[in-house]
Amino acid sequence: MSEPTNWQPEVDELNLRRKLALKMGGEERVNRQRELGKLTIRDRIDALVDPGSFHEIGGLAGYGTYEDREFRDFTPLPYIGGLAKVDGRSVVVGGEDFTVGGGAADISTQERFKSLFLADMAREYRVPLIVFHEGAGANVAAEGDGHGHLPSSFDVFGPDIRAGQEVPLVFGASGSTAGGVAARVMLGHFTVMTPQGALFAGGPPLVKRALGLDITKDQLGGPDIHVAQSGAIDNRATDEYDAIDQMKTFLSYMPQNVYQQPPFKPTDDPPERQEEALLSIVPRKRTRPYNMLKLIRLLVDDGEFFEIKPEFGTTVHTLFARIGGYVVGIVANNPSMLAGAMTADSADKQGHFVELCDHFHIPIVFIADVPGFMLGPQAEATGTLRHGMRAYWATYLASVPVFTVITRKNYGMAGQATANVGTMNYRVGWPSGDWGSIPIEGGVAAAYRREIESAPDPDKRRREIEEHLLQFRNPFRTAEAFGIEDIIDPRQTRSYIYRFLEHAYDTISTTLGVKGKAGVRP
């Protein structure tokens, strides 16, 4: 056989290897993945990115089969990723390939380094990192190389942590995730779980061996557990495509990196628009709830917003929206759940969201209607005070501009967490505003206990004291003392927030970059 005159034989082998890599774990396993109602990692990437924009990196990494030193077959590593564009914006995207070894990492190969290389690339290129996670943290078969491996020998989480300091991390729990893969999901700035998704430190077989407990993956770590109960996952998706839509929506509110501002989106919705319904949305009866999300829809551009953690810590809403085209993070108490009182869960939710907004230079608007911290034995057992002060700590140290609209109640320590007293502290109230250190109803019973108990008619005396104090709760008296910056017509709220955002973004343009770490959270 004559020697080739060019490199076509090697190019032919290259093309064959790429063709084999596209088969992933083989036709049978790919079909099985889809029969279970799940997309493959290549399906997910194709559904996410702009057509034709995916540029794979490391596609030739894997396991070759040879006979007499001749190449015969190829199995790719269980991780696929590369550069792409999403809605015209550059991103790094990747994820475990569950059709190859269940997506499990083999620490005796370079699979780990491939996934972490992509995280480093996102940081280096200063573009968002989007990952579809589905797989186990490690493959026990890797111990067959003759020795065990110390977990601390591998910098598994460092690349994600370092990337997250500079770029948005958007992670999906697209199937069962365990161990290190599950832990990496937790590092995302936004996380979403599909109906087939599950997340746990150790799966059902490990639970059975360690605890003797028979349990399904859904019972152990499905959406009902981690979206609604633990709050470990931000949002639930109805299916894989909904998860992808949520990832794209979240990204639409984020800057490319911490060195840029969030994207402005021109709108035909007039900034000065006034909604008559705002004048009556807060009931005159102080104890009657109302729909806070309806109120927010009346304020934001085209009534559109994206809520984060809607099923967790439900006494507060946290969401992204735009007003006059500007991105804004909104924290709004939910008077329909426990009157909007701050619980341990809602405090964690609020504090994390504030830190997220601060990290990516998104101004924050509080829409406050909060009676205070939740009270009672359960509240104390769950550490509401500690968690509540974490929320306060986050707001106090936030460097982005903060604007507060008080629609009704604003009491106690939870009320303090709805404004940044460490900065300019710009607050406006509606005429329905009702604030103080403690609600009069409960405060009178505590402060005037002896006087009430010694009265001939204790209930009558209590009502007399409450009625006397109510006259001083008029919000206009607070405005007279410049104890609040303004009382506004509720219909003008959108225009007030818009003017705040105009000036806020001028300020933000001078403070871009990585935020310094400050102190230790309570």
- Which pLDDT tens digit goes with each residue over 195-231? 999 999 999 999 999 999 999 999 999 999 999 999 9
List the structure tokens of 286.
């102080």
What one-letter code names the amino acid at 416?
Answer: Q
List the structure tokens of 288.
């009657």
Higher-pLDDT residue of 371, 112: 371
- Based on the number of CB atoms within 10 Å of its own CB, is 509 exposed (0-12), middle (13-18) or buried (19 or more)? exposed
* Strand partners for 333: 316
Give the span between the Cα atoms of 407 and 432, in whole angstroms: 6
Across the range 316-342, mean pLDDT stands at: 98
Higher-pLDDT residue of 26, 259: 259
pLDDT tier, 113 (very low <50, low <70, confident <90, very high otherwise): confident
List the structure tokens of 148.
């065990």
Across the range 160-183, mean pLDDT stands at: 95
Start-to-end Cα distance in the chain: 76
What is the three-class DSSP state of 90?
strand
Predicted TM-score (pTM) of this structure:
0.91
DSSP 446-472: HHTHHHHHHSSSHHHHHHHHHHHHHGG
Across the range 12-22, mean pLDDT stands at: 92
Quick: pLDDT tens for 482-494.
999 999 999 999 9
* Strand partners for 50: none
Q: Is the pLDDT of residue 162 over 80?
A: yes
For CA atoms 118, 122, 127, 128, the dihedral sign is positive
CATH superfamily of 276-437+473-508: 2-enoyl-CoA Hydratase; Chain A, domain 1 (3.90.226.10)
Q: Are 409 and 371 in contact (CB under 8 A)?
A: yes
Give the span between the Cα atoms of 23 and 21, in whole angstroms: 5
Give the span between the Cα atoms of 223 and 235, in whole angstroms: 9
Q: Are 38 and 240 in contact (CB under 8 A)?
A: yes
The secondary structure of residue 57, as a DSSP letter, is S
Q: What is the pLDDT of residue 3?
A: 86
What is the three-class DSSP state of 55?
strand
Q: What is the pLDDT of residue 118?
A: 96
Quick: pLDDT tens for 465-482.
667 666 667 889 889 999
Q: What is the pLDDT of residue 14?
A: 93
Give the span between the Cα atoms of 295 and 368, in whole angstroms: 12
Q: What is the pLDDT of residue 156?
A: 84
Per-residue burial over 366-401, b if 16 or more Cβ lie within 10 Å, else e, is bbbbbbbbbeeeebeeeebbebbbbbbbbbbbbbbb
* Strand partners for 66: 71
Domain ranges of the chain: 8-253, 276-437+473-508
Q: Are 350 and 313 in contact (CB under 8 A)?
A: yes
Closest CA to 324 of 293, 300, 304: 300
Give the span between the Cα atoms of 297 and 292, in whole angstroms: 9
Q: What is the pLDDT of residue 425?
A: 78
List the structure tokens of 220.
């152990």
Beta strands at 129-135 and 79-86: parallel, antiparallel or unpaired? unpaired
pLDDT tier, 521 (very low <50, low <70, confident <90, very high otherwise): low
Q: What is the pLDDT of residue 106?
A: 54
List the structure tokens of 61.
């990494």
Outline where DSSP puts E strands in 68-163: 70-76, 79-86, 89-96, 129-135
List the structure tokens of 47.
């559904």
Q: What is the pLDDT of residue 186?
A: 97
- Give the CATH number of domain 8-253; options: 3.40.50.300, 3.90.226.10, 1.20.200.10, 3.90.1300.10: 3.90.226.10
Higher-pLDDT residue of 111, 504: 504
Quick: pLDDT tens for 276-300.
999 999 999 988 999 999 999 999 9
pLDDT tier, 422 (very low <50, low <70, confident <90, very high otherwise): confident
Query: Over the chain, what is the mean pLDDT?
Result: 90
Helix (H) or strand (E) holding 191: strand 190-193
Give Cα 141 distance to the centre of its chain: 35
pLDDT tier, 423 (very low <50, low <70, confident <90, very high otherwise): confident
Quick: pLDDT tens for 385-418.
999 999 999 999 999 999 999 999 999 889 888 8
Give the span between the Cα atoms of 114 and 92, in whole angstroms: 13
Per-residue burial over 117-150, b if 16 or more Cβ lie within 10 Å, else e, is bbbbbbbebbbbbbbbbbbbbbbeebeeeeeeee
276-437+473-508 matches 8-253 in CATH topology? yes
* Residue 317: CB atoms within 10 Å: 26
Across the range 450-463, mean pLDDT stands at: 77
Q: What is the pLDDT of residue 1?
A: 62
* Strand partners for 465: none
What is the three-class DSSP state of 165?
coil
Q: Is the pLDDT of residue 308 over 90?
A: yes
pLDDT tier, 25 (very low <50, low <70, confident <90, very high otherwise): confident
List the structure tokens of 107.
């620490």
When mean pLDDT is compared over 15-29, 205-219, 426-440, 445-459, the highest value belongs to 205-219
Q: Which residue has the tokens 């029969």?
A: 35
Q: What is the pLDDT of residue 178?
A: 92
Across the range 484-512, mean pLDDT stands at: 96
